[in-house]
């Protein structure tokens, strides 16, 4: 399958469909990511705080896939950037992943109480200039946090990665991203399974002879978002990637748009202030 790519505001391109590894146990990461690479995924969404970068790195090394064919993302967690350790955190991630650069580095969470994320941003701009990162971006940023980074920084974030699925669509955040030329990545794109019984999802799955997960993945793709569903089950890893042989109609897409219900699965960035 040829995965469509999206061009970012810095000229880089990213495969629209990737593979996420949150909650993949460290001891399984190598096997699970090897499976994903075998199936054809080339975009991997990681984070230091997921605790499994070493396993991911082993899978990358063993796969033989040329580095330039991969799009590797990782993220700096709040404790590191609050302590002024953004650069050290990236070096540690590069070492664990076994790569010389990442394609995308994200501030994982804004932790807005003290605006330390602005210092992290400056460090990331410098590391981008040094060639250690191709694109820099943010995650879980509300419109006001985006405004602060754009105002204070020199580089506009390429990406804002936020929770988006049929039950939580974050239209205001998506609009703020667009205003700044920032592309939206959807985390927990399947709502961790919570929307598979919803009528429009089931109906489209039956109509196209596919699974509810495949319908939801198609909905994101056709709405222009970047996503990276997670699974540790080989059949699901494969079927979540096998989504280029059918297309949802505009009616099917709008019916899924109608499932919005503040069905948040994770913490609300407006309330959660991690350290």
Binding site for ligand NAD (CB under 6 A): 20-23, 45, 108, 139-140, 161, 187-193, 211, 213, 228-231, 236, 239-240, 266
Q: Contact at 8 Å (CB) between 229 and 213?
A: yes
- Is residue 105 part of the annotated active site? The answer reads no
Provide, rounded to whole angstroms, the least separation between the CB of residue 45 and ligand NAD: 4
Number of other residues whose CB lies within 10 A of the CB of residue 93: 22
Q: Looking at beta carbons only, is 28 or 130 nearer to ligand NAD?
A: 28
Q: Looking at beta carbons only, is 11 or 143 nearer to ligand NAD?
A: 143
Q: Looking at beta carbons only, is 36 or 99 nearer to ligand NAD?
A: 36
Q: How far is CA 219 from CA 42, 238, 242, 248, 252, in A?
A: 20, 18, 14, 7, 9
Provide, rounded to whole angstroms, the least separation between the CB of residue 266 and ligand NAD: 6
21-191-212-216 Cα dihedral, nearest 10 degrees: -90
Provide, rounded to whole angstroms, the least separation between the CB of residue 17 and ligand NAD: 12
Provide, rounded to whole angstroms, the least separation between the CB of residue 227 and ligand NAD: 8
Q: Looking at beta carbons only, is 45 or 252 nearer to ligand NAD?
A: 45
Rounded distance, CA 247 to CA 215, Å?
A: 9
Residue listed under structure tokens 């230091």: 48
- DSSP string spanning 211-222? -HHHHHHHHHHH
Provide, rounded to whole angstroms, the least separation between the CB of residue 229 and ligand NAD: 4
Provide, rounded to whole angstroms, the least separation between the CB of residue 252 and ligand NAD: 18
Catalytic residue among 41, 50, 105, 117: 50
Q: Looking at beta carbons only, is 154 or 202 nearer to ligand NAD?
A: 202
- DSSP string spanning 17-55? B-EE-TT--HHHHHHHHHHHHHHT--EEE--GGGS-HHH
Q: Looking at beta carbons only, is 89 or 190 nearer to ligand NAD?
A: 190
Q: Which residue is nearest to ligand NAD (CB)?
A: 20
End-to-end CA distance of the chain: 41
Which residues have CB under 8 Å from 108's CB, separation 6+? 47, 48, 49, 75, 76, 77, 78, 139, 140
- DSSP string spanning 125-168? HHHHHTTSEEEEEEES--HHHHHHHHHH-SSPPSEEEEE-BTTB
Positions marked catalytic: 50
């Amino acid at each position: 399958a040829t995965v469509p790519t999206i061009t970012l505001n810095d000229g880089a391109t990213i495969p629209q469909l990737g593979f996420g590894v949150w909650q993949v146990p460290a001891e399984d990461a190598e096997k699970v990511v090897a499976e994903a690479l075998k199936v054809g995924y080339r975009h991997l969404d990681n984070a230091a705080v997921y605790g499994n970068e070493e396993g991911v790195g082993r899978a990358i090394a063993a796969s033989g896939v040329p580095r330039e064919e991969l799009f590797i993302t990782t993220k700096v967690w709040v404790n590191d950037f609050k302590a002024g350790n953004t650069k050290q955190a990236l070096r540690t991630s590069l070492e664990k992943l076994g790569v010389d650069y990442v394609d995308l580095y994200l501030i994982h969470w804004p932790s807005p109480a003290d605006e330390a994320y602005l210092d992290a941003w400056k460090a990331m701009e410098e590391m981008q200039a040094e060639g250690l990162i191709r694109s820099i971006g943010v995650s879980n940023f509300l419109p006001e946090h985006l405004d602060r980074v754009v105002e204070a920084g020199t580089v506009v974030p390429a990406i804002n990665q936020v929770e988006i699925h049929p039950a939580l669509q974050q239209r205001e955040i998506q609009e703020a991203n667009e205003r700044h030329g920032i592309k939206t990545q959807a985390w927990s794109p399947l709502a961790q399974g919570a929307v598979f019984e919803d009528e429009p999802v089931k109906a489209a799955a039956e109509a196209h002879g596919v699974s509810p997960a495949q319908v939801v993945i198609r909905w994101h793709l056709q709405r222009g978002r970047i996503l990276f569903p997670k699974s540790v089950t080989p059949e699901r890893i494969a079927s979540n990637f096998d989504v280029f042989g059918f297309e949802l109609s505009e009616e099917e897409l709008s019916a899924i748009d109608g499932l919005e219900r503040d069905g948040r699965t994770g913490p609300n960035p407006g309330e959660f202030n991690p350290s």
